[in-house]
Structure 1
Amino acid sequence: MHYRRAFVPGGTFFFTLGLADRSQSLLTKHIDVLRASFRRVKARHPFEIVAQVVLPDHLHAVWRLPEGDADYPLRWALIKSGFSRRLPAYEAIPLSRRRKRERAVWQRRYWEHRIRDEEDLQRHVDYIHFNPVKHGHVSRAADWPYSSIHRYIRNGAIPADWGG
C-alpha cells in the first residue's frame, strides 16, 4: 500500500506517533533518551518544534521545516531509530520486523497533517496542549511536565490555568 504524504518545503505539519504496544509507557519512562534523540536529529537536520506533548504511549507535535526542506520522514525515522536503539531490549520482535532489522518499539506509520493557516495552527497547538487532560493524566494542562505548554505560559501566550 502506498501512502501519500504532503511534501511542502518550509511547511508546518502536525504529527501523531505511537508506540507499537500502546500499553507501554516508554516515552515518559525514557524521556531523557527521547529528548536526546530529538537533539541529535535537530543538530544535523534543523526544524522548529512549534508545539509538542509526550504522553506515555504516543506523542503529538507541530513542526516548522526550514525553507526549501520538506524531509520530515527522514527526521522522524532518525528520531524513532535513535530512541529505539538506546532502549534495553524488552519486546518480542516479530519476524517481519527482524527481517528489516527493526525493533518493535514504534508503530511503523504515523499521522501527518499539513497546517494550512493560523486558525488551523492554533487548533492543533491547543489540541496538543490539552491532550494530557483529555487522556486523564492530569486535570490541568500545565500540570503535565512533558509539554510545550510551559514555554507558551512563560512567553505569556496563554495563562497558567488554561485547559483546566
Structure 2
Amino acid sequence: MTDYRRHYRPGGIYFFTLVLADRRQEWLVSHIAALRQSFLEEQRRAPFALQAWVVLPEHCHLLMRLPEGDSDFSTRLRRIKGDFSRQLPLPANLRQSQVAKGERGIWQRRFWEHAIRDEEDWQRHMDYIHHNPVKHALVERVCDWPHSSFHAYVQRGVYPPDWGWAAEVEMAAGE
C-alpha cells in the first residue's frame, strides 16, 4: 500500500483537488447546492477560510486557509465529502469492500494536497483554480463558468472581468 505523507502546518494555506470516483458523472455541478451546503456545514463545525474554489462536473479545486494552531484539513475534507455523499442517491454499483467500510462510492478515496509556500505560489494556484474550466474546454472565457470564486474576485477588483480570455495562461499547479 502506498505511504501517503501529508504536510500538516497549523494555520497553513492548502490547495486541494477532490475527484469523483466515476469521472463520467457530473454530480458536482448537478448537485451544486448540496455541495455548497456541505462546505457551509463544515465551516460551522470547524472554521476555515475558503479563499478560492472552482467546481467542475467531476472534480473541484480549493484554496483553504486553516485557523492559527489548527492543521486538520483531512478531517474537514472527509466530513465534506461524506456529507455531500449522503445527500445523493446510493449508487447501484457499490463493491462489497465499500459497503463494509460504510462508503458510498461517490468520491475517490484520496485527494491531492499542496501546502502553499509563499505569495507567488498562492497566486499561481489562484490563477490555476480560476482558469480550470477553460483548461478543460467547458467554457472559452473564465467569466462564463458560474461555479467559481472568480466572480467574487472580479467584484473586489482583483481580476479584470476579461482575465484569461485571449492569452493562454500558463498554469503550474498539479492535478
TM-score class, shorter-chain normalisation, is: over 0.9
Partner of 1:77: 78
1:147 corresponds to 2:143: no
User: Equivalent residues in 2 for 1:1-164 (5 A)?
Assistant: 1=1, 2-164=3-165
Flag structure 2 segments of 5+ consecutive residues without an equivalent.
166-175
Structure 2 letter corresponding to 1:82: D
Flag structure 1 segments of 5+ consecutive residues without an equivalent.
none
With the length of structure 2 as denominator, give the TM-score of the two structures. 0.92
How much does 1:78 deviate? 0.5
Distance, in Å, in 1 between the alignment partners of 2:4 and 2:40 is: 28
| Contact 1:28–1:54 (Cα < 8 Å) also in 2 | yes
- Deviation per CA, 1:8-56: give whole Å up to 9, x if none: 0000000001000000000000000000000000011000011100000
Distance, in Å, in 2 between the alignment partners of 1:78 and 1:89 is: 17
Structure 1 letter corresponding to 2:9: V
| Contact 1:52–1:60 (Cα < 8 Å) also in 2 | yes
How much does 1:88 deviate? 1.3
Distance, in Å, in 2 between the alignment partners of 1:67 and 1:90 is: 39
Question: Helix, strand or coil for the counterpart of 2:29?
Answer: helix
Distance, in Å, in 1 between the alignment partners of 2:101 and 2:90 is: 16
Percent of aligned pairs with the same amino acid? 55
How much does 1:159 deviate? 0.3
Structure 1 letter corresponding to 2:128: Y
Question: Helix, strand or coil for the counterpart of 2:50?
Answer: strand
Question: Helix, strand or coil for the counterpart of 1:52?
Answer: strand
Distance, in Å, in 1 between the alignment partners of 2:45 and 2:102 is: 23
Runs of 4+ in 1 over 4 A off after TM superposition: none
How much does 1:91 deviate? 3.9
Cα 1:43–1:90 shift into 2, 3 Å? same
Structure 1 letter corresponding to 2:130: H
Count of aligned pairs? 164
| Contact 1:91–1:105 (Cα < 8 Å) also in 2 | no
Distance, in Å, in 1 between the alignment partners of 2:58 and 2:107 is: 9
| Contact 1:91–1:104 (Cα < 8 Å) also in 2 | no
With the length of structure 1 as denominator, give the TM-score of the two structures. 0.98
Distance, in Å, in 2 between the alignment partners of 1:127 and 1:91 is: 35
Cα 1:131–1:91 shift into 2, 3 Å? farther
